[in-house]
Amino acid sequence: MQENGRILSVILTKVKHQAKPGVSTMDLADYALELMEHEKCQPAFFGYRGFPGTICVSVNEETVHGIPRKNRLLQAGDLVKIDIGIKKYGFYADMAETVYLGNEMPAEIEKLIQTTKEALRAGICSAIAGNTLGKISQSIQNAVEHRGLSVVRRFVGHGIGRSLHEKPPVPNFGSEDQGPQLENGMVLAIEPIATNGDPDVIIKDDGWTAVTRNGQLSAHFEHMVAVTKSGPKILTSTCQAG
């Protein structure tokens, strides 16, 4: 899984650098598939519960599960969430990042991105054997709400391994007295989603793409993290740092 995480980190980094004005979301998906084939891994999302895309590309008010389309061209000022999963060696890896397409980032968007990153970092730092899973959830929620933003509650993180989504679910909200106790060897996909406004989302007519109910922007970051005796270890990293 560590090797899968390294491979996925490289793939996502290359894909996000191709996210530019004039590029379609399908172009990003096609490029991601090309990179996966080069690494001899499979797209984890394609066909999962009927999902029609190779990766998820969600733009602006779209929170998650955006279906790549040829006619969805990225524009300057877009806030783009790229979520990619792969399968290799019989194990899965999952990762997401948010990128802004512009030279000068508005303060509101910078706050949203940085807050969501900080929430992910807080959740990872709480992924320690002996803690409850709820400690991760509480740390994420506190990091987001402390900055006056909202946690999207409909979607949660998850265990990951031989299946893409395994137990336990990892909510981005809650209290530290909830959930199972974390144990060495657990691998979790921790993925906070934050928005500037109402945290409620609705699903578009395509049956997949989730958008904020009030049309506000959202950000999404995700890492695959192992609970180890020496502390949390980020697996979706090219340097494999803890």
To 10 degrees, the CA torsion angle through 202, 121, 68, 108? 70
Cα–Cα distances (Å) from 12 to 47, 81, 85, 94, 136, in that order, read 20, 11, 9, 10, 24
pLDDT in tens, the chain (242 residues): 999 999 999 999 999 999 999 999 999 999 999 999 999 999 999 999 999 999 999 999 999 999 999 999 999 999 999 999 999 999 999 999 999 999 999 999 999 999 999 999 999 999 999 999 999 999 999 999 999 999 999 999 999 999 999 999 999 999 999 999 999 999 999 999 999 989 999 999 999 999 999 999 999 999 999 999 999 999 998 655 44
Cβ atoms of 94 and 44 within 8 Å: the answer is: yes
Nearest to 172 by CA among 209, 202, 201: 201
> Of 171, 116, 164, 161, which is closest to residue 143 (Cα–Cα)?
116
Q: Which of 188, 153, 150, 186 is nearest to 172 (CA)?
A: 153
Whether residue 217 lies inside any domain: the answer is: yes
CA distances from 174 to 125, 133, 167 (A): 16, 10, 17
The pLDDT value recorded for residue 190 is 98
Q: How many structural domains are present in the chain? A: 1
106 within some domain: yes
Instruction: Say how many CA atoms lie within 13 Å of 186 toward its Cβ.
Output: 26
Per the structure block, which two tokens stand in for 28? Answer: 């990003």
Domain interval for residue 197: 2-234
Look-up: residue for tokens 């109402």? Answer: 198
Residue 240, in any domain of the structure: no
Integer-rounded Cα Rg, in Å, for the chain is: 17
Confirm whether 239 is domain-assigned: no
User: What is the DSSP-derived secondary structure letter of residue 235?
Assistant: S
Asked if residue 63 is part of any domain, the answer here is yes
Q: Is residue 87 part of a domain?
A: yes
Residue 242 lies in a domain: no
Across the beta sheet with 210-212, the strand order is: 62-64, 210-212, 201-203
The pLDDT assigned to 241 comes to: 43
- Position 119 scores a pLDDT of 98
The answer to whether residue 162 is domain-embedded is: yes
Interatomic CA distance for residues 195 and 217, integer angstroms: 6
Q: What is the CATH number of the domain that holds 118?
A: 3.90.230.10
